[in-house]
Structure 1
Amino acid sequence: MNRFFNLYSNCIPVKGSEESIIIDLQNTEHINVPNLLFDVLRKTRTHTIDEIKNFYNNSLDEGIDQYFSYLKDIGYGFFTDHVEMFPELNLEWYSPLKVNSAILEIHEDCKYDFNSAIKELSSLACSSIQIRMSHPDVNNILSGILDATRKSRIRNVEIFLPESLYEEHYLKYLDDIENRINTFVIHSVKDEILTQDLYKNYKYHIDHKLIFKSETINSATTDHIKMENFIINMEFFTEAQQCNVALNRKICIDNEGNFKNFLAHKSIYGNFRNKSITELIEDREFTRKWFVNNDSIEICKDCQFRYICFNNSDIEFNGHSWQKVNECPFDPYTNLWKTE
């Protein structure tokens, strides 16, 4: 067969140590495939199907035909005589934003002016802010956050509250279109199943604007790495080619006012009480980790999920290579999750 087989441009194969995947950016899904198929697919842009079969001395003819037919049937690829007419997807990523997201910690003994921090983040075009609050004066703090964000460049404010401080009337802020507060995450819930059931028909809960979690969210909390938390879309995938997506253009300020790449990290890069956020993002030591993508990190570089995984673990340079501080539950060398 002198025809070509071509994957649709939105279907991109990624090779891991023991297994590969094909990521469908349009339908936000992925499928698992053997590494041998990955190697075959790498040749399809420049070789006909017959040429590929000959490369493997025709020992894989049946398997190649079956896989190409399967990929065609599920809408991942097609047969063509003119592969040059279907260019590959441009994976360049660019953002004009100096700061994309921020996490601010506000406890009862808060040591910095968080409203000033929010206003400066807005001036830097930060689009999303997460507020982790355990301060009992919730009403006044929410009022200050509203004043600091109304008519600002900030588009998304998430409020994290322990169940002990949550009152239903706070949800009134979700109805005002001028407000930037659009999500309340209530954590440390004593009985998550009962609470979810009580609110199952509540419009904010249905719209995922009111979320209940049994786990406690604090400075040490990190995101869980699991299949259901993978992020598959064009923006994330292209950013992951260049950057550490979980840390890139992110500002975190703990309750003491300390600047961090992420709240759970140990490294501190100054304090908001005597250093502006504008000065912080000019600090190369702080921004260095933004540009260490998973292709540059030991173990991650051999994982087939490296472009769809959101992992805010700290990273360290040991003199030879970058490594993540937190252990991942997935082992790309055995292709197994540690819970299995």
Structure 2
Amino acid sequence: MSYINFYACCHITKGFTYSIITDLERGIYFSFPTEYFEILSQKNIPAQNNPYSSDPYFQELLNFLEKNKFIYQTQQKENISEVNTEFILPYEIEDIIIDAANGEDLNYKTEKIDIFCEAIQFRIYGDCTVDNLYHSINNIRAIGISSIEIIINYNEQLITQEAYADLYQKNNIISRIIVMNSPEAKKAEGSSILFTTSKLSSCEQCGIISESLFMPNQRTFLTSQKFNSCLNKKLSIDINGEIKNCPSMKESFGNISEISLSKASGMPSLKKYWDVKKDDIEICKDCEFRYICTDCRAYTQQDEIINDIDYSKPLKCSYDPYEGKWFSEKPILYK
């Protein structure tokens, strides 16, 4: 008798119509009909003499899994222990988003940062020079923050493509630069500098849910099971200087010109949505993608509010887990 088991980095998530297997090391996933969830979620699955031995689709599925190194076979049962799913980072605040009207506004706001976090994102809507970027990067570097993502609109007269490359090479603190409103979409060779034709216009562009934005990695997968995948341990400064959980949220905890981030971060109301996980949200709790998807609380369907907390599905998500479809698209069985 031979037995089948999944590699430790592979996890199964049950959905209403389809379920998925996520490989957290390779950052990939694929879907399969939920009718096979019960047997695939077992340990030491009998390779033969199982309830689906005569099911050709199930056998094809097993062949696919083994060929693509999701499962392995043994000749005897293995003693498999539970995988530790705890994921804790030593930060009171993990992420900060700064929305800036222009380069000078960015410099002003970065000078106000007084708390340590893991990563920070600049979103600059208007004119910004390369000197502005260097200035703000140095402000963040002085605090000890180790990762900066820059999102900015294309303006060849102010910052050339060569200047972006030079900025990236000289500052290993930069994780990625996304240049929007570019004449063409491309990726700069040998760096994480992306050019896209979409324009950065306002924070209202946030909240879109799509397969292209899924994050099948260990951090997202494990965090999403206990916390909100978008708002947990996040602070933001919006375009007007208002301190919020997210720039698109309505509630402000004061203006950066009048209150420090460190003081705002201690306000209990800031943590209102930190523990609202996908398993708590209507419709999302039946979705197979819930642990690799972000969860927007700024734009929701507003149809499930309990004790002043919104448990509604994100407004900008077009996936129906009960149909297993993105609107009229056919479901994807393998990805």
TM (norm. structure 2) is: 0.82
Q: Are positions 1:96 and 2:90 aligned together?
A: yes
Partner secondary structure for residue 232 of structure 1:
coil
Partner secondary structure for residue 239 of structure 2:
coil
The one of 173, 187, 204 aligned to 1:180? 173
> Is the contact made by 2:319 and 2:325 (CA closer than 8 Å) also made in structure 1?
yes
- Give, in angstroms, the shift of residue 238 of structure 1: 1.0
Distance 2:43 2:228 in 1: 29
Cα gap change, 1:140 to 1:176, in 2 (>3 Å): closer
**Range with greater deviation from structure 2 (74-83 or 249-258):** 74-83
- Give, in angstroms, the shift of residue 132 of structure 1: 1.8
- Give, in angstroms, the shift of residue 143 of structure 1: 4.1
Partner secondary structure for residue 231 of structure 1:
coil
The one of 328, 336, 339 aligned to 2:325? 336
Counterpart residue number, 2:111 = 116
User: Number of aligned pairs?
Assistant: 318
Counterpart residue number, 2:230 = 246
Gaps in structure 1 of 5+ consecutive residues: 54-59
Partner secondary structure for residue 220 of structure 1:
helix
Distance 2:110 2:314 in 1: 32
- Give, in angstroms, the shift of residue 100 of structure 1: 1.4
**Range with greater deviation from structure 2 (273-282 or 68-77):** 68-77
- Give, in angstroms, the shift of residue 325 of structure 1: 4.7
Distance 1:135 1:127 in 2: 26
> Is the contact made by 2:129 and 2:159 (CA closer than 8 Å) also made in structure 1?
no
Q: Are positions 1:234 and 2:202 aligned together?
A: no
Cα gap change, 1:6 to 1:257, in 2 (>3 Å): same
> Which amino acid in structure 2 is aligned with residue 319 of structure 1?
I
CA-atom RMSD in angstroms? 3.0
Quick check: which has more Rg, 1 or 2?
Answer: 1
Q: Are positions 1:62 and 2:54 aligned together?
A: yes
Q: Percent identity?
A: 25
Distance 1:139 1:35 in 2: 51
Distance 1:115 1:74 in 2: 46
Within a 5 Å distance, the mapping from 1:1-340 to structure 2 comes to 4-42=3-41, 44-45=42-43, 53=51, 60-63=52-55, 67-80=61-74, 83-107=77-101, 110=105, 113-118=108-113, 120-121=114-115, 124=116, 126-136=117-127, 138-139=129-130, 141-164=132-155, 166-168=158-160, 170-171=163-164, 172-177=166-171, 180-181=173-174, 183-189=176-182, 191-192=183-184, 196=186, 204-314=188-298, 318-319=305-306, 322-338=311-327, 340=329
> Is the contact made by 1:329 and 1:339 (CA closer than 8 Å) also made in structure 2?
no
The runs of at least 4 aligned residues of structure 1 exceeding 6 Å deviation read none
Distance 1:140 1:112 in 2: 10
Partner secondary structure for residue 306 of structure 2:
coil
Provide Cα deviations, 1:61-100, integer angstroms capped at 9, x if missing partner.
3126554454334322234465452223211111111111
Distance 1:267 1:145 in 2: 26
